[in-house]
């Protein structure tokens, strides 16, 4: 879409204001709104000014002025605002040099796509994330000097089987038995369909929606694969739509990886394939019908998985899900069909166009632009350096004897471990200036200062249960 077409779209939809959106460093959408009279064709070059010092992980106060330059290709009408509102996702630039801002996650995704094309390996990376989430009826939490607690609740929660609900009609999914039940056990069918239809109204292709394994409203809605930058944009719309559809129904959605103890956490299995001249390069005659390039790509992900986790699983809560011996794929192996491996080669279709890699470790707390870019860079590093992934593991990893399991490496056990791995292993991310050293250093510093250390310093409620009487 051209700037002129965007203005025509705004007029056709009687837009009164323009909402400009961009991502902070950790990965949360930010926005501000201007009257539609402020938008003309020159706006798509001149941009709009804002204070970058107030955005997490960005500019210091003495260099705070920044520009957001709207991308006309991202134009959509907001489905929730009372006043007709045109939404444009923007790229961030320095107002003096007009250079793109190196810490802008969307710019990093753009550079990753350019690096792929420059490598000669392919021209398009398709990404398909399966973002899971929970739908809750209520959430309460507090963390202060002398008190810390959280409480979530759901009409579906199995813990409410004995609650007086006037009447309690039962039909609450048991722990780990929430996969695909029909109503009345599945109480959120209509709500998920409203989410799906809202996404489709925005032009986002959806493949399916369903209940997920855990009790208490765990769910999944799958978007059809798209090129990397486009999927980064779509993931932001995805989170925005789900949260707002839920709130309209007086419910809340969270993409927190592990909000419940004793049941499945929330992952984001991420599919990736590379195409060149409209042909898939991952289809071939090797294991599970993939090419040698695909196997090398697997080798790249397995080699760099520790560093990748700092970006694909970037919260301390992520590692409540990534615990060896439980449901999450922490063991660094690959397989066809075997969902206990960190990398799976889906076997739903024999079509060469369907050949792809499924990296099962990530979760939806990530900044999609950074996570998808990092995964692509690991795959490309594997292909360029012909990294051998070893033999596939077509066994139930969780059922292996201890001596055999000990030979299989594992993903990091904490965010601190993942950040340490990123500090030691990030040269593959710096290729083509896709990620800069400043981005890597700032990410590690921000996460350590604002997340790792605050969690370290606070007593955990369960520690009182364990230790108060010692």
The one catalytic residue in 14, 40, 41, 51 is: 51
Q: Is residue 271 annotated as part of the catalytic site, yes or no?
A: no
Of these residues, 24, 156, 293, 358, which one is catalytic? 358
Residue 176's alpha-carbon distances to 53, 212, 380, in angstroms, are 44, 9, 36
- Reading the block at residue 223, the tokens are 């978007």
- Judge whether 441 counts as a catalytic residue: no
Give residue 287's Cα distance to chain centre: 28
Which parts of 57-166 fold into alpha helices (H)?
105-119
Catalytic residue (choose from 91, 212, 222, 263) = 212
Strands 29-35 and 17-23: antiparallel
Bridge partner list, 32:
20
Q: Of 103, 192, 211, 269, which one is the catalytic site residue?
A: 269
Distances (CA, A) of 137 to 162, 179, 217: 17, 20, 9
Q: Is 344 one of the annotated active-site residues of the chain? A: no
Name the active-site residue from 174, 224, 248, 339: 339
C-alpha pair distances (Å), 238 with each of 102, 223, 243: 25, 9, 9
Tokens of 124: 């398009």
Among residues 128, 125, 122, which one has the least CA distance to residue 348?
128
Q: Which of 113, 186, 220, 233 is catalytic?
A: 220
User: CB atoms < 10 A from the CB of 287, how many?
Assistant: 18
Whether 132 is a known active-site residue: answer: yes
38 is catalytic: no
Catalytic position from the list 24, 113, 130, 186? 130
Q: Is 283 left (phi over 0), alpha (psi -120 to 50) or beta?
A: beta
The residue annotated as part of the active site, out of 24, 71, 78, 132, is 132
- 192 classed as catalytic: no
Instruction: Give the chain's length.
Output: 470
How far the first Cα of the chain sits from its last, in Å, is 67
- Is residue 360 part of the annotated active site? The answer reads yes
Say which of 360, 363, 381, 426 is annotated catalytic.
360
Residue 464: both structure tokens together: 């009182």
Tell me, yes or no, if 212 is annotated catalytic. Answer: yes
Contact predicate 434/111, CB 8 Å: yes
DSSP 459: P
Residues with Cβ < 8 Å from 28, sequence gap 6 or more? 56
CB 103 within 8 A of CB 439: yes
Tell me, yes or no, if 358 is annotated catalytic.
Answer: yes
Tokens of 246: 């839920």
Residue ranges with strand state E in 316-447: 334-336, 343-345, 357-359
Catalytic residues: 51, 130, 132, 212, 220, 269, 339, 358, 360
């Amino acid at each position: 879409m051209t700037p002129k077409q965007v203005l025509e779209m705004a007029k056709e939809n009687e837009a009164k204001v323009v909402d400009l959106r961009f991502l902070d460093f950790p990965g949360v959408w930010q926005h501000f709104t201007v009257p539609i009279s402020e938008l003309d064709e020159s706006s798509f070059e001149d941009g709009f000014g804002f204070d970058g010092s107030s955005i997490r992980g960005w500019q210091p106060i003495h260099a705070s002025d920044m520009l957001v330059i709207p991308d006309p290709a991202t134009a959509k009408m907001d489905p929730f605002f009372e006043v007709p509102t045109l939404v444009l996702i923007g790229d961030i630039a320095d107002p003096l040099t007009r250079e793109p801002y190196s810490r802008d996650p969307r710019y990093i995704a753009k550079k990753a796509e350019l690096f792929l094309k420059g490598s000669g390996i392919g021209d398009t990376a398709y990404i398909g994330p399966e973002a899971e989430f929970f739908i809750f009826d209520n959430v309460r939490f507090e963390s202060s000097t002398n008190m810390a607690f959280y409480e979530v609740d759901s009409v579906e929660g199995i813990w409410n089987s004995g609650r007086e609900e006037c009447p309690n009609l039962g039909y609450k999914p048991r722990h780990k038995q929430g996969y695909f039940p029909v109503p009345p056990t599945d109480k959120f069918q209509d709500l998920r369909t409203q989410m799906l239809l809202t996404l489709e109204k925005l032009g986002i292709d959806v493949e399916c929606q369903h209940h997920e394994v855990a009790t208490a409203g765990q769910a999944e809605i799958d978007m059809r694969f798209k090129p990397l930058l486009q999927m980064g944009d779509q993931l932001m719309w995805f989170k925005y739509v789900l949260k707002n559809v839920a709130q309209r129904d007086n419910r809340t959605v969270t993409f927190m990886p592990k909000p419940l103890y004793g049941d499945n956490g929330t992952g984001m299995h991420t599919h990736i394939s590379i195409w060149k001249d409209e042909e898939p390069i991952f289809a071939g005659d090797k294991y599970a019908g993939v090419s040698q390039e695909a196997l090398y790509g697997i080798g790249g992900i397995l080699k760099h998985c520790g560093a990748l986790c700092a970006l694909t699983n970037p919260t301390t809560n992520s590692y409540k899900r990534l615990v060896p011996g439980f449901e999450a794929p922490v063991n660094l192996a690959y397989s066809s069909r075997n969902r206990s491996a960190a990398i799976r080669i889906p076997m739903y279709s024999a079509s060469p166009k369907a050949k792809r890699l499924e990296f099962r470790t990530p979760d939806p707390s990530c900044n999609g632009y950074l996570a998808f870019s990092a995964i692509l860079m690991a795959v490309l590093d594997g292909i360029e350096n012909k990294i051998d992934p070893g033999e596939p593991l077509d066994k139930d990893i969780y059922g292996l004897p201890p001596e055999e399991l000990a030979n299989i490496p594992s993903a990091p056990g904490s965010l601190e471990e993942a950040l340490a791995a990123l500090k030691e292993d990030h040269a593959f991310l710096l290729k083509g200036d896709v990620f800069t050293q400043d981005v890597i250093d700032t990410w590690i510093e921000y996460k350590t200062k604002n997340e790792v250390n605050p969690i370290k310093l606070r007593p955990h409620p369960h520690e009182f249960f364990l230790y108060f009487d010692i």
